[in-house]
Amino acid sequence: MKEQLLLFSGGLDSCVLLKILLEKFKNPLTVLFINYNKFGYSHFKRKTFAIQNKKVKNIIKYFKKNYRSFNFRQIDFGFKNSYLDNFPYFHNDHHAVFFASYYLLNSNKKINDVWIGHFLYNDLSSIQRHKQVNNWFFDNSLEKILNIFNLIKIEKIKLNLKIPSLIKDKNFYFYSKHEAFNYLEDELKSFVRSCEGDTNFCKECDKCKEYFFYKI
């Protein structure tokens, strides 16, 4: 079986997807976490990422102890002058697939499939709360970014972006964020990143409000 790559943030979606891939599938797996904490972002964002990094370490430790083996890689990226903090045209998902492409360009791994945590319940939540969905999961723009370094590679390898919401497989079917949250063990739930602020639960950011909305 070919090795696959999972983009990991420590949030609910990537934790649920990691559990599914370890529990329901047998492909060798590399889990890639992109650490923005040391560079570029504002002071507030650096505090937020410091909390995220701690949670990711606890989550990975838990999965390694309780599930089959996998590789974990952390890469540090950043830009001066808070570049990512103020760039309006890309979402975090675009940044993530770009850095995944860069990582694979500089590694010796023969990986074709890259997973990103986005489920049906994410789309249903967006429609219910914001009356729209994130179009970049449907317009092929993420996969184009994922393959951007093929322009300079001699040996071109087509990278496929695997998005659970677009895959017809019952293993990925959760109809609410609450259902997905309850798929995780209690100890794992306590580690999941659920806040965009500089605390564990600020009650004000969009992520916290979503947890309140769905009574998680």
pLDDT of residue 82: 46
Helix H segments across the chain?
Answer: 12-24, 43-66, 83-86, 92-105, 120-130, 141-146, 177-182, 186-191, 206-213
φ and ψ of 159, to 5 deg: -100, 130
High-pLDDT (> 90) share of the chain, %: 51
**101: its two tokens:** 């492409």
pLDDT of residue 30: 98
Three-state SS sequence of 139-191: CCHHHHHHCHHHHCCCCCCCCEEECHHHCCCHHHCCCCHHHHHHCCCHHHHHH
We report the CATH number of the domain holding residue 204 as 3.40.50
Over 60: is that where the pLDDT of 84 sits? Answer: no
**Domain boundaries, position 28:** 4-213
User: For residue range 177-202, what is the model confidence (pLDDT) as tens digits?
Assistant: 899 999 999 999 999 987 776 677 77
**150: its two tokens:** 């093929």
Please, which residues bridge with residue 33 across strands? 8, 74
212: number of CA atoms within 13 Å, CB side? 10
High-pLDDT (> 70) share of the chain, %: 85
pLDDT of residue 59: 97
The mean pLDDT value of the chain amounts to 85
**156: its two tokens:** 């071109």
Has this prediction a pTM greater than 0.85? yes
User: For residue range 102-142, what is the model confidence (pLDDT) as tens digits?
Assistant: 899 888 788 999 999 999 999 988 888 788 888 999 999 99
φ and ψ of 73, to 5 deg: -130, 135
Please count the structural domains in the chain: 1
Using the Cα atoms of residue 61, residue 85, residue 93 and residue 76 in order, give the sign of their dihedral: negative
User: For residue range 94-113, what is the model confidence (pLDDT) as tens digits?
Assistant: 888 998 998 998 887 889 99
Distance of alpha carbon 71 from alpha carbon 163, whole angstroms: 20
Which of residues 216 and 109 earns the better pLDDT score? 109
pLDDT of residue 17: 98
- C-alpha pair distances (Å), 2 with each of 19, 75, 89, 134: 18, 22, 34, 30
pLDDT of residue 149: 85
